[in-house]
Amino acid sequence: MKKIIRLFIALIVLIATICIVYAIAVTKNQNMAGGDVYKLVYGIQEYEKIDTLLKKMSKMGAEEYSSKITDLLKEGKVWIALNLHDKQGVYINSLNIIKRIYIDKNALMNSVAFFEKLRSIDIAIEYLEAFAELTLVGTILHEYIHYSGIPDENYVYQREIDFYQKLKDSEFYNNLNYEQKEYYNWAIESAIKSAIKAREYR
């Protein structure tokens, strides 16, 4: 009987420890994402927005990434953060227990305002819209590659740059009209420059 009680106590301690470690991982993860976060669940506006962006990512030539990230979205691994400061998104792995991709709410819902807050570029809004959207898609792709188990920034930035460089061959780009292509040409060039800069100064 005593043996059973001892076993029972050991089991309780084990469960409590697992719960504590899990809670620590969750807190750590959320704190690293600025604290104020929520899960992207089906039916909310932010979910629809990401879903639309992922469909666009597929037409931009990254079908495989798009479908894998859509799976993560459905599994509840993509979250919204209200306070990522200057980042559009980030991947955070806490103790290998909690792994999430966070997207900045402002970058997602009000992408141009997100950039205007950072720097005032004297250029027509359409160029900024193209840049903001493209770099958000690039960021989601970048953070997904980290999520898939690759920490090497050089490698991940190169995949992001490859995505921008191949964009002109995509269905998305080919369906743009002349003016929209002008906006995207600028956006592609600027996205590549800023990824190279980010890779150098990280």
Interface residue list for Zn ion (CB under 5 A): 153, 156
Q: For Zn ion, give the closer residue by CB, 3 or 202.
A: 202
The stretches of the chain forming alpha helices (DSSP H) are 2-32, 45-59, 63-74, 105-109, 111-118, 125-147, 153-166, 171-174, 178-201
Cβ proximity to Zn ion: between 128 and 191 the closer is 191
Q: Which helix (H) or strand (E) holds 102?
A: strand 98-104
Which CB atom, from 80 or from 195, has the smaller least distance to Zn ion? 195
Choose between 53 and 141: whose C-beta lies nearer to Zn ion. 141
| C-alpha dist (Å) from residue 92 to 5, 66, 149, 161, 201 | 40, 19, 11, 22, 20
Q: How far is the CB of 194 from Zn ion (least distance, A)?
A: 13
Nearest distance, CB of residue 196 and Zn ion, angstroms: 13
Shortest Å distance, C-beta 141 to Zn ion: 11
Residue 6, CA atoms < 13 Å, CB-side half-sphere: 3
To Zn ion, the closest distance from the beta carbon of 195 in angstroms equals 10
